[in-house]
Amino acid sequence: MRNRKKTVASYYLPASAASPGFPAFPFPNLTQQRPLEDVSGPHELGTATSFTMTVQHSGLQKEVLALYRRALRMVQTKPPPVQPKFRLFVQHTFKTQAFSLSPKDISAIEHLLRKGKKQLEVYEDPKVRDCWVSKEMRDWDERHRRRTNSKLEGL
């Protein structure tokens, strides 16, 4: 038996199909005898195949995401005992606002962005040491946690 490099065709196909000249094989390009070292890109053998989809965001979406990241960074500047309250406030505000309006309502989104930036500037002030969290926000958080935990248990 000859010491031969493993090829793409012999890797993907049964031994009978990988031989050159296999009759009536529907994918003739797979029977080409190329060494595995020549295979590159997302189809590389020996590694997990992963396709990363990049999502193209509009300018408005980028602004909203930037504001959300900035708000979450602001939470980190607050004293550790009150950080969960600030985080809940930020998450609740963004999630409820996101579900309350249509993505096509550009003027409303722009209005909320301006309002959110002004509100965030106030909360970023080091003199602001605490925030008020309503019962509605706590209830929302409890429902959100239950929903997330049940999804995780289902995995």
Average pLDDT per 10 consecutive residues for the chain, totaling 155 residues:
49 47 47 49 51 77 94 96 96 92 91 96 95 94 86 75
Distance between CA 55 and CA 34 in Å, rounded? 34
Q: What pLDDT is attached to residue 12?
A: 46
Q: What pLDDT is attached to residue 31?
A: 46
User: What pTM, to 2 d.p., does this model score?
Assistant: 0.61
Q: What pLDDT is attached to residue 17?
A: 47
Q: What pLDDT is attached to residue 64?
A: 93
* Identity of the amino acid at 49: T
Q: What pLDDT is attached to residue 10?
A: 43
Tokens of 137: 């926000």
Tokens of 14: 């049964």
C-alpha pair distances (Å), 137 with each of 82, 101, 143: 15, 19, 10
